[in-house]
């Protein structure tokens, strides 16, 4: 589970900002707040992040994505670290970017953080947070590293550090060198933190194409209940020569795929999805399709590309929500949850998840949204709603609704937000667009 996330000098976040999933003393919906008994800590199961356009919501999501890629995938030798510092202050371009996580995994709490520039890792640390104390497992600064006393005796850790490049995290290299000591943290980023961008496509295609798989059956059932018109999802086989792809790419697939290997392939701009496999030396493709019932009750096949944007978005998001409802221990972060979705559909997905949450839940859902109709204290606690705000200098900040003293549990929080009393709404200076049009036209005529 995510406890907190701190960012500094990253895109619009010039100053240090911390996003926390630690529950306040809020009493609303207390029965569904997960409890970590060993640490006497309550962690929130959900967080909704609001804010105007260019206020920093997506930049926060990008920071999570950058951190995950740097930790899990690492960097190539002599390549630059793809860090994106705050660009409106020249001093920030040379200063390091800081990213720091507090997380709970395998019944332990850790703090893992690093400072990086495009050339190198300036600082990196890993701390185990115990019930009453903290224990520094390692602290890297420049070309030096300090280990905890019991780890200092393990020579292979020093060898792993000596083999760590300047542009590489020690955590990443250590795990790649088969060091098991820090693997729980690495695995959390690799397996537990799941990021879904606005253009992310549906993930486990292979599973859904298995008609007898529980997820496939649940997907079809839920899509029909969400009034998408889909009776069920299905698939069809397509010969290689009939795939809408260049012959050169077909030949490359023949050479690159090994026997039994499967590849999830998407063809733009039609959004068609194929599961391509090699069996008995031949390439076979299966395509995801949907079925609707006509007025006579007969199933009619539809291409996924012919479904509405909202239906395709629902197909993309459903595996995440079904996983959350099923009791996973993953943390899902979704950018623009409401993209192409009707408010009631978004609310149904959120209510489905929150209705499954209790004190033993170990899953979490973070999402950004513009949908103010979801800004409802019947759905969320005040500490589960955040706003990103950008000041006149272009600096973004994060504020929890629970930090505002005048927002009571019986208050219409949506009204306060739209009135600008909370922040996070666009500062629109243009008062009359039609007048602007005529002004521009008049200037053109005058010239």
Predicted pLDDT at 431: 57
Residue 207 has pLDDT above 80, yes or no: no
- According to DSSP, the β-strands at 108-116 and 121-129 are antiparallel
The least confident of 106-110, 354-358, 407-411, 437-441 is 437-441
Element (H, E) at 146: strand 144-147
Q: Which residue has the higher pLDDT, 206 or 36?
A: 36
* Mean pLDDT, rounded, for 421-446: 56
Residue 256 has pLDDT above 90, yes or no: no
Q: Which residue has the higher pLDDT, 61 or 408?
A: 61
What confidence tens digit (pLDDT) does each residue in 386-410 have?
999 999 899 999 999 888 776 666 6
By C-alpha distance, which of 227, 231, 223, 218 is closest to 300?
231
Residue 439 has pLDDT above 60, yes or no: no
Cα gap 329→362, rounded to integer Å: 5
* Mean pLDDT, rounded, for 55-66: 95
By C-alpha distance, which of 291, 179, 318, 185 is closest to 235?
291
Predicted pLDDT at 195: 96
Predicted pLDDT at 423: 61
The least confident of 88-97, 203-212, 344-353, 395-404 is 203-212
Question: What are the structural domains, with CATH classification, of the chain?
Answer: 1-198+335-442 (3.40.50.300), 205-310 (no CATH)
What confidence tens digit (pLDDT) does each residue in 343-364 have?
999 999 999 999 999 999 999 9
Rounded to two decimals, the pTM is 0.89
Q: Which residue has the higher pLDDT, 137 or 220?
A: 137
Predicted pLDDT at 241: 72
Alpha carbon distances (Å) from 431 to 304, 416, 435, 436, 437:
42, 21, 9, 9, 12
Element (H, E) at 276: strand 272-279
Cβ neighbours, 10 Å, residue 326: 12
Contact 265, 276 (CB under 8 A): yes
């Amino acid at each position: 589970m995510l406890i907190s996330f701190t960012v500094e000098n990253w895109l619009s976040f010039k100053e240090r900002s911390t996003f926390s999933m630690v529950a306040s003393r809020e009493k609303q919906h207390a029965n569904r707040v997960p409890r970590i008994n060993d640490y006497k800590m309550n962690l929130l199961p959900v967080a909704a992040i609001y804010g105007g356009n260019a206020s920093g919501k997506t930049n926060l999501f990008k920071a999570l994505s950058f951190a995950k890629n740097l930790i899990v995938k690492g960097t190539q030798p002599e390549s630059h670290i793809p860090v994106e510092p705050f660009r409106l202050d020249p001093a920030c371009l040379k200063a390091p970017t800081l990213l720091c996580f507090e997380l709970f995994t395998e019944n332990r709490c850790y703090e893992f953080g690093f400072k990086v520039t495009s050339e190198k890792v300036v600082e990196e640390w890993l701390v185990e947070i115990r019930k009453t104390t903290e224990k520094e497992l390692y602290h890297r600064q420049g070309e030096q590293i300090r280990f905890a006393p019991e780890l200092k005796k393990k020579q292979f850790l020093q060898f792993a550090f000596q083999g760590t490049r300047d542009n590489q995290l020690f955590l990443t290299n250590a795990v790649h060198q088969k060091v098991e000591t820090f693997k729980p943290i690495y695995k959390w980023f690799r397996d537990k933190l799941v990021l879904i961008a606005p253009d992310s496509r549906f993930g486990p295609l292979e599973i859904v194409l298995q008609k007898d798989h529980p997820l496939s059956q649940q997907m079809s059932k839920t899509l029909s209940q969400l009034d998408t018109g889909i009776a069920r999802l299905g698939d069809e086989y397509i010969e290689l020569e009939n795939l809408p792809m260049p012959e050169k790419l077909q030949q490359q697939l023949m050479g690159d795929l090994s026997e039994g290997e499967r590849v999830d392939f998407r063809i733009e701009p039609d959004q068609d999805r194929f599961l391509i496999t090699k069996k008995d030396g031949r390439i076979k493709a299966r395509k995801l399709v949907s079925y609707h019932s006509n007025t006579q009750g007969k199933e009619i096949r539809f291409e996924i590309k012919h479904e509405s944007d909202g239906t395709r978005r629902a197909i993309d998001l459903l595996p995440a929500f079904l996983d959350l409802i099923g009791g996973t221990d993953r943390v899902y972060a979704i950018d623009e949850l409401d993209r192409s979705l009707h408010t009631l559909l978004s609310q149904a997905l959120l209510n489905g998840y929150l209705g499954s949450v209790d004190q033993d839940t170990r899953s979490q859902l973070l999402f950004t949204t513009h949908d103010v109709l979801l800004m409802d204290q019947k759905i969320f606690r005040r500490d589960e709603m955040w706003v990103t705000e950008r000041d006149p200098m272009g600096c973004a900040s994060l504020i929890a609704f629970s930090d505002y003293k005048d927002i009571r549990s019986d208050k219409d929080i949506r009204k306060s937000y739209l009135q600008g009393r909370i922040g996070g709404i666009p500062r629109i200076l243009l008062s009359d667009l039609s007048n602007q049009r005529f002004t521009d036209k008049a200037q053109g005529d005058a010239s």
